[in-house]
Amino acid sequence: MRVGGVSTTDRGDVALLCRRPPSGSLVGMTLTMEPARSAAGSDFAVLARRVSAEGLLTRRPGYYALRLSVVAAMLIGGWTAFALLGSSWWQLAVAVWLAIAFAQVALVAHDLAHRQVFRTRRPGEVLGRLAGNLAIGMSYGWWMEKHTRHHNNPNHDDLDPDVAPDILIWTREAGSGRRGVKGFLTRHQAGLFFPLLTLLGVNLKVSSVRALAGGGMKHRGLEAVLLTAHLVAYLGALVLVLSPLQAVAFLVLHQAVFGVYLGMTFAPNHKGMPHPTGDEDFLRKQVLTSRNVRGGRLTDVALGGLNYQIEHHLFPAMPSPNLRRAQPIVRAYCAEIGVPYAETGLIESYRQALQHLHEVGEPARAEYAAR
């Protein structure tokens, strides 16, 4: 059954719609994200009908035309200022501006990946690759595949790549037996969280290069060309315009601020929230693992609408400006059926995420102290 453009089914799961390439590689699948079909009487289907009746699943072309124009102007304006200033330490201010612009481009790419902007797939993919690969140096195809798996099973220990043990860990079990640098990071990960975010922008580039070098990705050649063009143009501009010391300072500051901004945008969404078993129905799996952040229009702009994380996970194709209007409907319905609805202020959301990081690092600290 389709409810206002949202498909629902008895599985109560997130559908992973894919087209397998001839090679059979999972990386090359065409992936889209939408709620799977569920029975007409399911909790999610009831909610979907209420949301659809308000017209909140309808595209917002005017809004996105304005938003894309503003973000493009921020990016072009930043690089224009860079060229006009030349070799100057005032370029550090430009670095901060461009870091904000890069993060806003990434948020636009996120909406494009969810088909919030265009009704059909192709224009979103074309613009997404230009925004991701060419503008900010992040593989759109790699990120979309990873983000799809996250939406299918948010906070699931085995199926969500965003909580897989890496530099940071998100479950107490994952910290056991860690030694060396990883062990040190685990024991102190709450205090190191924000400093480590300064490396996020670089990590996105490294992960993108690894994914493209690994092969099997759809449009791998095009993505590689666009990513290479970004890296050559970016580094070339720094070398040609700035002194060596200014170039290093610009690079470090720009990538650090970009990483912190992007990390602070995504960190409040799921960190410190329950980890599901996979047996939950679609509505509960999405609501219970997500946290909303209260705020006004400025918060909406700064976080790209991701402060309405619950609504976004329930209706990933909903245009971001409609999420604010959907929130009271979703919140009231959760209260009606007895499903906890997490919502907090921005600073409190970071406190909760850091508290969770500290708690899951406790076994590692105890193990280290007992040696």
The answer to whether 186 and 172 have CB atoms below 8 angstroms apart is no
**Global pTM value:** 0.86
Of 32-41, 84-93, 250-259, 358-367, the one with minimum mean pLDDT is: 32-41
The two tokens of residue 34 are 């939408």
Sign of CA dihedral 319, 103, 127, 25: negative
User: Residue 4: which of 60, 46, 61, 65 has the closest Cα?
Assistant: 46
**Packing angle, helices 91-113 and 61-85, rounded to 10:** 150
Q: What's the rounded Cα separation, in Å, for the pair 120 and 133? A: 20
Q: Which residues contact 297 (CB under 8 A, 6 or more apart)?
A: none
Of 93-102, 149-158, 273-282, 329-338, the one with minimum mean pLDDT is: 273-282
Q: What's the rounded Cα separation, in Å, for the pair 310 and 288? A: 8
Q: Is the pLDDT of residue 343 over 70?
A: yes
Percent of the chain with pLDDT over 90: 73
The answer to whether 132 and 144 have CB atoms below 8 angstroms apart is no
The pLDDT of residue 147: 94
Rounded to 5°, the CA angle 227-151-261 comes to 55
38-64, pLDDT tens digit by residue?
A: 344 589 999 999 999 999 999 999 999
Percent of the chain with pLDDT over 70: 89
How does DSSP classify residue 316? T
Which residues are 344's β-sheet partners?
Answer: 293
- Maximum CA extent, the chain: 66
The pLDDT of residue 367: 87
Which residues are 34's β-sheet partners?
Answer: 15
Q: Is the pLDDT of residue 182 over 50?
A: yes
Q: Is the pLDDT of residue 2 over 70?
A: no
How does DSSP classify residue 242? S
The answer to whether 320 and 116 have CB atoms below 8 angstroms apart is yes
Q: Which residue has the higher pLDDT, 218 or 97?
A: 97
Q: What's the rounded Cα separation, in Å, for the pair 196 and 181? A: 13
Q: What's the rounded Cα separation, in Å, for the pair 142 and 132? A: 10
Q: Is the pLDDT of residue 18 over 80?
A: no
The pLDDT of residue 216: 78
Q: What's the whole-number mean pLDDT along residues 240-244?
A: 98
Q: Is the pLDDT of residue 259 over 60?
A: yes
- Residue length, the chain? 371
The pLDDT of residue 37: 38
The pLDDT of residue 168: 87
The two tokens of residue 26 are 């999972």
pLDDT band at 215 (very low <50, low <70, confident <90, very high): confident
